[in-house]
Amino acid sequence: MAPQDRLTLDRVETPAATPDLLRVEGLSVAYGDNQVVTDVGFGLRRGESLALIGESGSGKSTIARAVLRLLPRGLGRATGRVEFDGHDVLSLSERRFRPLRGRRIGFVPQDPGNSLNPVRTIGAQAREAAALLGELNPAERKDLILETFAQVGLDDPRRVHDSYPHQLSGGMLQRVLIGLTVLPRPALIVADEPTSALDVTIQKRILDLLSRLRQDLDISLLLITHDLAIAAERADSLVVLKDGVVQEAGATAVVFSAPTSEYARKLHGDVPALNPDRYRHLRDRVRESGPPKIEVSGVTKTFTVEGRALTAVDDVSFVVEPGTTHALVGESGSGKTTTIRLLLGLEEPDSGSIKVAGEEVTGRSHASLRSIRRHLQLVYQNPFTSLDPKWTVKRLVGESLDRFGVGTRQERAERVRAALDSVGLGAHLLSRRPAALSGGQRQRVALARSLVLRPDVIVLDEPTSALDVSVQAGIVEVLLSLQAELGLTYVFVSHDLALVRQLAHTVSVVHRGRVVEGGPVATVFDNPRQPYTRALVESIPAPRPTVANGAS
């Protein structure tokens, strides 16, 4: 059965004038007085894929929404020309455009977790997509839905059909959403960061699924992403955006191997997957020798969840040498966060021992934990929530000095300034509040806050996952320079293997609470022994090596 056949009406209307399925010319979008996209143009041919690459604020998602005409009502105003299959999208009335939406242009959203109605079953929402195909009867619709769910790799289509969104994992929900999108057999899919909310191994599977469906069903793909490596791996041509303006565009192989614009070159240099050895000179400096800084041995922690015992951390052991970086790598729910909570003394392990600089962390009183914390600091994942919005930078960074009563007032002010300086922030920011700082500046403030007590060990919990790659590169550089300079020891929690490869010396791969593999980064990554490690390593996007891969 070929559902396109039911859409003959659209076909008759379609003049086969332009070879491009989607053609964008001189597109500008403004929210009120705020111009976010300026004079953007590109073309996407039938059956091909194009990636819009840019960091936050580059206008890439706005372009996607303009193509689908889903800009917020009354706020977003698009001018220029968007031509889809001969239709002038921007000038069509909503009534005339609606038949295209869903039927001819599908949309895969960024965060599957909030993209389905939480109080309706998956099946009820799938029937809406099936209803777009017209006169199928209910039984046929259901068959089609179950068939599509199987096609997108859902193991138990019937269970999925009867479930509510909160009963499924993020990866399954994204498969459902992709299924709903391809079900009416659209000619074009717009995918807005389809994997950025998912774990790395799932990310690869979802991207593989999209590529496969694209080939099987002859669908064009407009991929929106911040990740140059993913774009280069998956798209025939690239459009690099910055602040709503196209910086560079062309076939993937050309843009990727010989970027001409300065921004594209910088982006290329900042993506960890493409530059595994970028920080080698900083990473491989001579380290301090001495006894291990951190010794975790045989630590186990069990929680009780709804009456069932759940072992979050199961017999975990690792050792970190002074002045090195140890990475804890794993997907969400693997026990990384619990491990560092144990390390920081925020939770008590059920068994095992944790030593920091030779001193036992577990089984201490609050007071003696406090003295250890001076030497053991934490930088949180999200700088947008970890800084009190009402406090100034000066107070944020100086708080722990005040708490521990370090030095005179003047000395404290001096140390705050020195800490800011060491993370590359000027003294003019001292009186600012977090709202007046960018994401990268905020994370630098968070880093300065942990540096100000001159700790030996800093635990970094996904410190860059909320930041853009170019900002991430800046933070990573600061971290590594500080390590080289002060001999700091880092415990680095991350799911981004490419990043880990850039900056860590040793690594523990955590899976379901257990360390499945550990050792020097190069050894583990080049010769993974465990299937889980291999899956993780394979999930690092690998850009296509040669020219003319599908781009004719």
Partner 1 sequence: MNRDYAKYALRRVLQAVVVILLAYMFTFVVISVLPGDPVTNTLRNPQNGFTEEEITRIVAYYGLDRPVYVQLWSSLSRFVVGDLGVSLRSGLPVTRQVGEVLGSTVVLALSALGVALVLAFGTAFGAQYLPRRVGRLLRAFPSLFLSMPNFVIGLVLINVFAFQLGLFQVIDSEGGLATFFAAVALGIPVSARVTEVLIANLDHEAGEEYASVARSRGLGRTRLFLRHLLKPSSLPVVTVIALTVGELLGGAVITEQIFGRTGIGSLVERSVTTQDLPVLQAIVTLAAIVFVVVNLVADLVYPLLDPRVRLGGTTSAARPEPRDLAEVVAP
Non-local CB neighbours of 174 within 8 Å, separated by 6+ positions = 108, 112, 194, 195, 198, 202, 206
* Residue number, 113 or 333, with CB nearest to partner 1: 113
Contact 206, 195 (CB under 8 A): yes
Identity (one letter) of the amino acid at 336?
K
* Residue number, 103 or 505, with CB nearest to partner 1: 103
Contact 279, 503 (CB under 8 A): yes
* Residue number, 64 or 478, with CB nearest to partner 1: 64
In the complex, the smallest distance separating the C-beta of residue 186 from partner 1, rounded to whole angstroms, is: 10
In the complex, the smallest distance separating the C-beta of residue 245 from partner 1, rounded to whole angstroms, is: 25
In the complex, the smallest distance separating the C-beta of residue 65 from partner 1, rounded to whole angstroms, is: 8
* Residue number, 164 or 384, with CB nearest to partner 1: 164
Query: For the chain, how far is it from start to end, CA to CA, in angstroms?
Result: 30
d(CA 296, CA 505): 17
Q: Is 216 exposed, middle or buried (0-12, 13-18, 19+ CB in 10 A)?
A: exposed
Contact 345, 373 (CB under 8 A): yes
In the complex, the smallest distance separating the C-beta of residue 81 from partner 1, rounded to whole angstroms, is: 21
* Residue number, 130 or 361, with CB nearest to partner 1: 130
Give the number of other Cβ atoms within 10 Å of residue 72's Cβ: 8
* Residue number, 100 or 419, with CB nearest to partner 1: 100
In the complex, the smallest distance separating the C-beta of residue 190 from partner 1, rounded to whole angstroms, is: 8
In the complex, the smallest distance separating the C-beta of residue 16 from partner 1, rounded to whole angstroms, is: 24
d(CA 517, CA 506): 11
In the complex, the smallest distance separating the C-beta of residue 208 from partner 1, rounded to whole angstroms, is: 22
* Residue number, 129 or 210, with CB nearest to partner 1: 129
Q: Is 342 exposed, middle or buried (0-12, 13-18, 19+ CB in 10 A)?
A: buried
> In the numeric block, which tokens belong to residue 241?
């955006």
Interacting residues with partner 1 (CB under 8 A): 65, 68, 70, 74, 98-99, 101-103, 106-107, 109-111, 114-120, 124-125, 128-129, 132, 164, 166, 177, 180-181, 184
d(CA 405, CA 398): 10
In the complex, the smallest distance separating the C-beta of residue 302 from partner 1, rounded to whole angstroms, is: 20
In the complex, the smallest distance separating the C-beta of residue 216 from partner 1, rounded to whole angstroms, is: 21
* Residue number, 5 or 306, with CB nearest to partner 1: 306
Cα 535 to Cα 69, 174, 207, 315: the distances in Å are 38, 20, 14, 23
Q: Which residues of 493-522 are buried (b: 16+ CB within 10 A; e: fewer)?
A: bbbbbbbbbbbbbbbbbbbebbbbbbeebe
d(CA 523, CA 527): 6
* Residue number, 96 or 281, with CB nearest to partner 1: 96
